[in-house]
Amino acid sequence: MQQPRLIRPGDAAKNFSLKDQRDKTVDLYELMGKRVLLSFHPLAWTEYCNAQMMSLEENRERFERMNTVALGISVDSLPCKRAWAGTLNIEHTPLLCDFWPHGEVARQYGLFREANGFSERANVIIDEEGTVVRVKIYPVHSVPDIDEVNGWLEEMAGS
């Protein structure tokens, strides 16, 4: 099975509907009119993923001021995400389950690591009209720089 190409700035964001840790369905197209940060992470319960998702939660109010919804997304199941969110005290940031079909959204965005069975660590920023404006892949054993992400969002606000 050939991996779809990596989504790029200028592409239309591919719609999806996934459950979050509260069993609530999040549909990307229902968020039109807001910016969306898709923060892909390989697996729950790992040190780097913990820090990545906690940074989203800690910056939630700042994101809201910039008309942005941050979504964490990985191949983990709903019960796993629910327990993980509880452990990390993540109360507001949706942690989406790209569990079944396994990694389907990561595949659609060209971010699935077939050899590992999980997604790249990546941030994808989508504008209010549903167009991808930024894509960055990070080393798996790192934490994305949240200040860099906030800088991109602030640039968008100024344009």
Strand blocks (E) in the chain: 17-19, 25-27, 35-40, 68-74, 95-97, 112-113, 118-119, 121-126, 132-138
pLDDT for 159 equals 54
Check residue 3 and give its pLDDT: 64
Strands 121-126 and 68-74 come out as unpaired
Sequence-distant (≥ 6) Cβ neighbours of residue 155 within 8 angstroms: none
CATH homologous superfamily of domain 17-158? Glutaredoxin (3.40.30.10)
This prediction's pTM: 0.96
What six digits make up the tokens of 28? 């990307």
Tell the residue number behind the tokens 């606000």, with chain if given.
157
Question: What are the boundaries of each domain within the chain?
Answer: 17-158
- Give the pLDDT score at 2: 60
Contact 135, 8 (CB under 8 A): yes
pLDDT class for 4, splitting at 50, 70, 90? confident
Question: Regarding predicted confidence, which is higher, 128 or 4?
Answer: 128
Half-sphere exposure of 98 (CA within 13 A, CB side): 27
Report the chain's mean pLDDT, rounded to a whole number.
Answer: 96
Helix (H) or strand (E) holding 53: helix 47-58
Residue 116 sits at φ, ψ, to 5 deg, of -105, -20
**Residue 158 pLDDT class (50, 70, 90 cuts):** confident
Q: In this prediction, what percent of the chain has a pLDDT beyond 90? A: 94
Mean pLDDT over 78-98 rounds to 98
Is the confidence at residue 1, as pLDDT, over 80? no
Per-residue pLDDT tens over the stretch 100-153? 999 999 999 999 999 999 999 999 999 999 999 999 999 999 999 999 999 999
